[in-house]
Structure 1
Amino acid sequence: MLGAFVRARREGMAPQGPSRRRRTPGLRREELAQSAGIGTTWIAWIEQGRDIRPAAETLSRLARALCLSAGERDYLFALAGRGDPERAPAGPGSDAPAALAVAAGALQWPAYVLDPAWSVCAPNAAARALFVGLFDPSSSPPNLLRYVFTHPAARTLLPDWGVRAQRVLAEFRRDYGRAMGDPRVAATVDWLLAHSDAFRESWHGQDVQAHDGGPRAFLHPERGLLHFTQHTLTGAERDDFRLVFLQPLEQPLQ
C-alpha cells in the first residue's frame, strides 16, 4: 500500500521546467529522488513494495518532495509504520483538540481528555467533582498517572486500587511506545520512577494493555460507592489525545 500511494502521488505531480510530451504521467522516479535528496533505487524499492523500512527522515524528505498535505503526510507515515519526527508534540494540559474539549464539556457525565503524557485536559465539572484531589492547585497540569500512584486520595477513591493502578500503567505503556520521544512523556516517567516505589516496581514488569474501558468503581468521600462504565475515544485531529468519559450505572455489574 505504501508503494502504491507514493507512486500515485508521484504520477499526479506536474513536471518542473518547460512542459514537454511524456509517455508516462507526472514525475519520473529520478526527478522525485533528486527533489527528495534520496536515491532513485530507494524510490523504486518503495514503489515495488520491497521488504524495506525507510527511515523517518527519508519519509520526511519524500513527503516534502511530494508536496503532501497534513493528512497525506500522516497517511504516509502510518503506512510505513513510522512516527513523524516533525509532528508537533502535545501541548500542555489546556491544549486539548477542540473537538474533544467540546465533547467533554457537553457531557453531564464525568469526562476529560488525556494528552500523551496522561496529563488531564479539559475536565468537565462532573470529572472535577469525582476525582478528589486530582485538581489540587499544586498539580499543574493535573496528571492521572501521578495522581493514581502518589496522591493519598486515589487509594481511597479507587477501592480496587492495586488492580486499577496496574491497568492504568499497562494502558499508559501502550501510549508510551508511540510517544517516548515527547519530552513531557519522558519527564512524567522519570518523575514517577523517582517518587513512587509502586510505579517503579510495576514499570519494570513491562505489562501492556489496550484501552478496553469497562466497569469502574469509585468510593467517593461524600457520595459513597459509585459505579460507571468507562469509554475511551480517540480524536481525529490528534490521535495521541483521548476523550475518556464515565457512563453512570444504575445497578453495578455482578
Structure 2
Amino acid sequence: MDRAQQLSEFLKTRRARLRPDEAGAGVFGGRRRVPGLRREELALLAGVSVDYYTRLEQGRARNVSAEFLDAVAGALGLDADERAHLHNLARPGSARDRPDRPQRVGPEMRQALDALTTVPAYIIGRRLDVLAWNEPARLLVADFPALPATDRNMARLVFLDAASRALYPDWESKARDTVANLRFDAGRHPDDPRLATLIGELSLHSADFRRLWADHGVHGKTRGRKRFAHPRLGELALDYVAMRAPDDPDMTMMIYSAPTGSDAATSLRLLTALPAPPSDLGMTII
C-alpha cells in the first residue's frame, strides 16, 4: 500500500465531510462544485501555509512536524484515533513494531484468557488475525480450531463467511467497525505485504468491503456493545472491552460480557452447556 496515497485520500475524505458553517467558516463564500472545505479554507482554519498543506494532501511534504499535523487535525475535527492515523501516515517510522515479525501470545495474556471460562474472549493481532480464543468465544463467534489458520481472521469472517454475516443483526455496523480497525492497522504498518494481500483479497470478493474501505473511516478497538443472533440461543446483546497487551501495541484481547441478571447473562451461562454442533471445517463463502 502506498503511504502517500493513503495520506492523500484520508485528508481529502476528512476535508470533504466538513461543511463550511459547521467548521466555523461562514465567511467563505462562492459557489461550490464539491462538498466540504476547499484546501485554502482548511489551511486558513488550521493557521498553516496553503502551499504546504497542499503538498501534504498530495503526499509530497517531507519532515512534517507534529505541531503542523496537530493544527491540521484540529481544523479537520479529527478524534484521537484519526489524529494518530494522520501522524502514522505523515511521519513514517512512528509505528514501533516490524509488521513481518510473527506475533506470539505471551504467558500472561494466555493465563488471563484461560481464566475467563464463562465469557467469550479472544486475542487478535495485526491484520485482525485471531491468535487465541477461549471456549465461549468458539461457541459464540466462530469455531476457530476448525478453520484453516489463514481463515482465522475477523475481517475475512465478517466479509466472506455467510455464517458470520448472519451472526450479527447489525452487520453494517460490525462491518464498518472492522474496516475502521483494519484501516487503523494499515496506518501503523502500510508496508506490511500480508496486510496488502488481505485488503486486496477482500476488495476482490466483497463489494461491501470496497464501499466501506473507500470511506477511510478509522478507529482503534475500545469498548461498546454488539448484538449477536446465535443459532441456538437467539439474540443477545453483549458489552465488549478491548485490553491491549502491555508489550505489544498490535495485540488486543476482546472480552464480551453482560450485566448480572440480564437475559444475555443467562444466555452466556447456557452457552458452554450446549452440545457442540457438527463442524464443516471451513467458512461458507458468500
TM-score, length basis structure 2: 0.55
Q: Tell me which residue corresponds to 1:217.
A: 227
**Secondary structure at 1:117's aligned position in 2?**
helix
Tell me whether 1:103 sits opposite 2:112 in the alignment. yes
Q: Residue 262 of structure 2 corresponds to which residue in structure 1?
A: 251
Give the 3-state SS of the residue equivalent to 1:242 in structure 2: strand
Could you list the per-position Cα deviations for residues 204-226 of structure 1 after superposition, in whole angstroms to 9, with x for gaps in the alignment? 11111232311111111112112
**d(CA) in 2 for partners of 1:168, 1:86:** 22
Q: Which amino acid aligns with 2:262?
A: Q
Q: Which residue matches 1:198? A: 208
Larger-Rg structure: 1
Structure-1 separation of matches of 2:232 and 2:187:
38
Deviations 1:166-216 (A, max 9, x none): 122112211221022222222211111111111111111111123231111
Structure 1 residue 137: Cα displacement: 2.8
Whether the 8 Å contact between 1:159 and 1:217 is mirrored in structure 2 is: yes
Aligned match of 1:165 in 175, 178, 192?
175
* Structure 1 unaligned regions, length at least 5: 1-51, 55-77
8 Å contact 1:99–1:235 — kept in the other structure?
no
Query: Is this contact kept in 2: 1:157–1:219, CA < 8 A?
Result: yes
- Distance 1:131-1:92 versus aligned 2 partners, 3 A rule: farther
Distance 1:252 1:131 in 2: 18
Cα–Cα, structure 1 residues 137 and 87, in superposed 2: closer, same or farther, change >3 Å? closer
Over 3 Å counting, the alpha-carbon distance change for 1:53 and 1:100 in structure 2 is: farther
Alignment root-mean-square deviation, CA: 2.9
The worse-fitting range, judged by mean Cα deviation, of 127-136 and 201-210 is 127-136
Note if contact 1:104-1:245 (Cα within 8 Å) is conserved in structure 2: no
Corresponding residue of 2:268: none
* Residue matched to 1:17: none
Contact 2:121–2:255 under 8 Å retained in 1: yes
* Secondary structure of residue in 1 paired with 2:255: strand
Aligned positions of 1:2-21 closer than 5 A:
none
Identity %: 28
